[in-house]
């Protein structure tokens, strides 16, 4: 039996969420004996259907920091209202000195955003949007601002067809009598 046939017979584990690393930083802590080096990972997860999460964690090794950040992101999951492959309304949010402006866009526009905001919007499942980062260019603050902006979105009310079914004549006749 060849190796290829053996590998394909194993059950495939499908991931519920896609993961994207936004930033990995080296951070140090000064102690009596010198400096302690650790790694900080910023990770965003999403299912491209309106659920996203953002996590930040530190560890002595990069892989451990990423795994811890993914666990943190799963705890911070939010649902984003998506309307016609874009957001329902415009929003502007400030987090620290980072300001972000999200504007709904028409079909065929695509995601016009930069840096970490683009990754967050892609994993949320939004296909047409305009985004502008103002103020700070700090990746973590911009990520939090984008996350907060998506969290602040309100879904549009469902169209209620019951109100449209009565003809105008019957409404006028009932009000006269």
Separation of alpha carbons 91 and 81, rounded Å: 13
Please give the span between the terminal C-alpha atoms of the chain, in angstroms, as a whole number. Answer: 87
pLDDT for 49 beyond 60: yes
Q: Which two tokens stand for residue 68?
A: 């811890």
Q: Is 63 helix (H, G, I), strand (E, B) or coil?
A: helix
pLDDT for 176 beyond 90: no
pLDDT tens, residue by residue, 2-21:
555 555 555 555 688 899 99
Q: What angle do CA 36, 38, 44 make, to 5 degrees?
A: 160
Question: Where along the chain do its domains lie?
Answer: 18-152
pLDDT for 162 beyond 70: no
pTM: 0.78
Q: Could you tell me which residues are beta bridge partners of residue 58? A: 40
pLDDT tens, residue by residue, 50-93:
999 999 999 999 999 999 999 999 999 999 998 888 999 999 99
**CATH for 18-152?**
3.30.230.10
The pLDDT assigned to 155 comes to 81
Separation of alpha carbons 170 and 31, rounded Å: 82
Over the chain, what is the mean pLDDT?
Answer: 86
The pLDDT assigned to 156 comes to 76
Separation of alpha carbons 125 and 102, rounded Å: 15
């Amino acid at each position: 039996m060849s190796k290829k046939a053996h590998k394909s017979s194993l059950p495939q584990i499908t991931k519920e969420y896609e993961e994207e690393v936004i930033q990995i930083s080296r951070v140090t802590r000064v102690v009596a004996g010198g400096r302690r080096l650790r790694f900080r990972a910023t990770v965003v997860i999403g299912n491209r259907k309106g659920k996203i999460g953002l996590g930040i964690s530190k560890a002595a090794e990069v892989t451990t920091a990423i795994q811890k950040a993914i666990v943190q992101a799963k705890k911070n999951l939010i649902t984003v209202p998506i309307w016609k492959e874009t957001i329902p309304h415009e929003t502007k949010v400030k987090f620290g000195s980072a300001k972000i402006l999200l504007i709904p866009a028409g079909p065929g526009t695509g995601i016009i955003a930069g840096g970490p905001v683009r990754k967050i919007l892609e994993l949320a499942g939004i296909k047409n949007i305009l985004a502008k980062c103002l103020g700070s260019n700090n990746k973590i603050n911009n990520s939090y601002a984008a996350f907060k902006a998506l969290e602040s979105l309100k879904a549009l009310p469902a169209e209620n067809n019951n109100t449209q079914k009565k003809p105008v004549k019957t409404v006028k006749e009932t009000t006269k009598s």
